A and B are shown apart, each in its own frame.
Chain A
Amino acid sequence: MRRWAGVCAVVVVVAGCGGGSGTGAAGAEGDDLGGTLTVLAASSLTESFTTLGKRFERAHPGTRVQLSFAASSELASQVTAGAPADVFASASPETMRQVVDAGAVEGRPAVFARNRLEVAVPAGNPGDVTGLADLARPELRVALCAPEVPCGAAAEKVFAAADVEPAPDTFEADVKAALTKVTLGEVDAALVYRTDVRAAGSDVEGIEFAEAAEAVNDYPVAVLRDAPNRAAARAFVAMVRSEEGLAVLSRAGFERP
């Protein structure tokens, strides 16, 4: 219920901005961009896209970047339901494919980053977790992403590759929710993206494991077909894929495509 309220709020905000950006875009048919650019991005992109959004605003004065972060699958349903956004950056090609199949994307999505899973534990590692196999210990509190969201699908892949039967206590609706439980110390371990571990700072320690290579996530980005601010959308995607964008992304823990 709350999520729907959130969706509605985004829709209202976006619709409100749409009017403004219409006039802005009309005046910006040439090189200079303007108006509001609405970017829907996977939760794991929160830090890097916030940075990129600020840089984009600085590079194009008069343009306002409106970022909305959520589980990719949720964003995909927003897009297919007609939320008027300009750019969609997903944490998985499968989720992007839903949007492409719905005919909501302009051109072809481009992979701009890759991410892999890590075991996240609270600072001090109270559960003495050393690797993926520990997530099968029943006495530990373990959070995994639900299989419906990309990080959960990736988790299933690495467990299959490692032949580990995990013993989770909860299936989280998105990767940040799983991370929050680690940050609060309410679980002993969670399987999240490396970028999330890095973003969490000193509250969270990351443990790498070899099987993570079996489920490296591609992150595709695309300009949406009904983008109200197409020119800015294209410029933003170009920036994400530029050397500058890649540098920001790799600082956040992403790998190059």
Chain B
Amino acid sequence: MTRDGRASSRDDRPSGLPSALLPLAALGLLFLMLPVAGLVVRAPWSTLPDLLTRPESLDALRLSLLCATLATLVCLVLGVPLAWLLARARFRGRAVVRALVMVPLVLPPVVGGVALFTAFGRRGIVGRPLDDWVGVSLPFTTPAVVLAEAFVAMPFLVIAVEGALRGADRRYEDAAATLGASSWYTFRRVTLPLVLPGLAAGAVLCWARALGEFGATITFAGNFPGTTRTMPVEVYLALQRDPEAAIALSLVLLLVSVAVLAALRERWLGVST
């Protein structure tokens, strides 16, 4: 995966690595992998094909992938400009804005769901006029799932892209400006390509977080098969009646997400050299 020039010249160099870090790194990996290994060991492999092909599981999986992808798109459209604002614009209260962007990270997801009600629910700040005038009610719909996931996942994208923007060499942008490029052209053709790796990493984090989102989703979007029952919700309910099925379902979610991420990574690295 890291055969191409850019990746290998930067990433594959163990020579300068302090050896004291190695055991800790191994311990870290073990810590992350042991629970997953536990799932793999406990999974009812014989019934896995059955569970996989059940229409409910497939519906939930399809919905999860769709909503996580849409949520990531929403985060990209709104989050990249926000990250740009935080990284490039100088204004009073920037520290406060940055802290506010992090709020969904610390908010318990269920509280996040209630917060979404207060904004977009039938009695919410935006939701009430939307319901009264347009007749649109968001809660308990598929768009509500996307909204809940985007709310929880967006900080991941913003942090990653902001970091990349801060790390990017601004002289390229200055040069573009000197050569007469408009600020919008510079942003599109110089800044964005510069921060593409950070953007990709942020999008992956965002997508992964959206895919696993449970608390805000089940609170704000509820749980209805086909429209709002995503895989994590399906797993949670399965846990109530059949823990083995729950393990199997979470493995499916795990495998699919790892497969998607691996495929995308291959692609990105291929393109970015």
Contact = CB atoms under 8 A, between A and B. Distances in A.
A98 to B, nearest CB: 10
A141 B121 CA distance: 12
The bracket for how many chain B residues form the interface is 20 to 34
Interface in A54-76: 71, 73-74
Given A2-B214, A173-B223, A185 B123 contact: yes
A244 interface: no
Contacts of B239: 3, 74, 77
A32 interface: no
A40 to B, nearest CB: 15
Interface in A117-134: none
Contact of B243 (A77, A141, A146, A181): A77
A160 to B, nearest CB: 19
A51 interface: no
A170 B108 contact: no
A184 B123 contact: yes
Interface of A: 1-3, 71, 73-74, 77, 141, 143, 146, 148-149, 168-173, 177, 180-181, 184-186
Nearest to B215: A2
Contacts of A148: 237, 240-241
Contacts of B223: 146, 170-173
Contacts of A180: 114, 219
B122 interface: yes
A143 B140 CA distance: 10
Contacts of A185: 121-123
A181 B137 CA distance: 14
10 contacts: A1-B212, A2-B109, A141-B139, A170-B224, A172-B218, A173-B223, A180-B114, A184-B114, A185-B121, A186-B121
B155 interface: no
Contacts of A143: 222
A76 to B, nearest CB: 9
- 6 tightest CB-CB pairs across the interface, nearest first? A170-B222, A148-B240, A73-B240, A2-B215, A169-B140, A185-B123
